[in-house]
Amino acid sequence: MVRINEVPFVKGHGTGNDFIIIPDIDAKKDLTAEQVRHLCDRHRGIGGNGVLRVVRTEHMRGYESQAAEAEFFMDYRNADGSLAEMCGNGARVFARYLDAVGLVTKNDFVIGTRGGSVAVTLHTDHTVSLVMGKANSPQVTSMPQVTVGSHSWKAVPVWIPNPHAVTFLDSLADAGSLVDMPHVAPDSTFPEGVNVEFVVVHGPRHVAMRVYERGVGETLACGTGACAVAWASRRHLEPDLVGESSYTVDMPGGSVTVTEDSDGLLRLTGPADLVARGTVLLA
């Protein structure tokens, strides 16, 4: 006999990037990859781009050291059940959830992630800011190349902390349907997979993007991807700029702002919405 568990959840999204939030404060119900895939299935489950499990950081094996500054840990899983270092849209939704249910009482706090601790600020207009840290783009002997159909572009490799391949093109339509994962070569540049961003310039410090997320597919938005795009855009468009800059990044699901300070720290600001709550049956 299969035992069925009734599990509470909350559904939320950040610029259309949607998530299933599973509160598990004391780490009593770790999710399997199969359960995550079921939850995220838009026909057989609830539907989402990923799952955010809410756990006290002290219970996250291997990440307990973050508990000194981050009471809660965002245990993020992609829709295919795989683990991810960080999710900018998910972290904003996660922070909004902590506030909505009273797990935090201040507008400024820190959350734990596999990519490190993240400082959060809640704003009165329901937007959320995250200090995403610094981007890393290692020197490579040759720039990776992204191919979709008969189109190929050079890509900028960026980690923040998820891996991204950022490519600039004339029209977002050139990226095609993005039903399948774009081909990225060489494989050795991104051994654990990569998110691929396609970018066009709309104006001064204003760009638009589409993204194919590893383990998910094309999504309406990607927070770490927007940061990677803003970082690469500044160096592509304003290579001699010194000091702070802010880029507006348009995505199919909405817009966010990415600010890079004089020390290279990136701050992501965008909306976060909670839309439903209920219970789901999990085998």
Catalytic residue among 60, 74, 87, 258: 87
8-state DSSP, 83: B
Catalytic annotation present for 40: no
* pTM for this prediction: 0.93
Q: At what angle do helices 223-237 and 88-100 cross, to 10 degrees?
A: 130
Segment 87-138, tens digit of pLDDT:
999 999 999 999 999 999 999 999 999 999 999 999 999 999 999 999 998 8
At the topology level, CATH places domain 145-263 in Diaminopimelate Epimerase; Chain A, domain 1 (3.10.310)
Catalytic annotation present for 87: yes
Catalytic residue among 222, 226, 227, 228: 222
Residues of each domain in the chain carrying CATH 3.10.310.10: 5-132+271-282, 145-263
What are the backbone angles phi and psi of residue 67, rounded to the nearest 5°?
-65, -20
- Residue 109 has a pLDDT of 98
Which residue has 């937007």 as its token pair?
127
CATH class of 5-132+271-282: alpha beta
Segment 236-274, tens digit of pLDDT:
999 999 999 999 999 999 999 999 999 999 999 999 999
Letter string b/e over residues 120-144, b meaning 16 or more CB atoms within 10 A of that residue's CB = bbbeeeebbbbbbbebebeeeeeeb
